[in-house]
Structure 1
Amino acid sequence: MPDLNSVSESIDGRHLRYFLTVADTGTVTAAAVLLHVSQPALSQQIIWLETRIGRKLFRRDGRGMHLTPAGVVFREGVLDIPGLLYRAVANSRSSMLPP
């Protein structure tokens, strides 16, 4: 299993967006449509993310994808990252400092 520093450095916003969209929709098919990516590419990215983290994040069955306990913990940890990034960009743009 890769060390935590290399894992956190290799996961980017795209991986988080993909993970959260699959978690929210419950299927790779629906998430792929919303994300405008192919279903196989999205599945590969989820598998890559699980491999990097070293835990299965989803339980797959005939009706979709369901978060595992590790997936629930990961979702709780990353859920606000897009919001934090948005606020950081907005705050820096509204600062009184020159560009």
Structure 2
Amino acid sequence: MKTFIPFAFLAAAALMLGGCAALEGQDLSDELVSNEGVTAIANSRLNDDFMTGRATLSVTVVDGLATLYGTVPDEATRQRAIQILENSPGVFEVLDRTRRR
């Protein structure tokens, strides 16, 4: 009985450490479920980009449809914003409502 208790403790510790390692490598970006979460990620990506961060842009995402609003200085910035949104998790289609300055 005395040898069983340390063995059980070691087995439990090994299982817990293995579970932590499995969670560490998990990509949670695929688990975005809310429109608000997808919208927040998309807006963050636009603001963090060197080219689109200088433009006045915003996006709303509803059921995978991203609607891009705002003013862009040129066509290259518009295309970059659309590209960023098309590659954002949870976005399946982009509707461009931007205007040129």
TM-score, scaled to structure 2 = 0.30
Greater strand share, structure number: 2
Which of the two has higher C-alpha Rg? 2
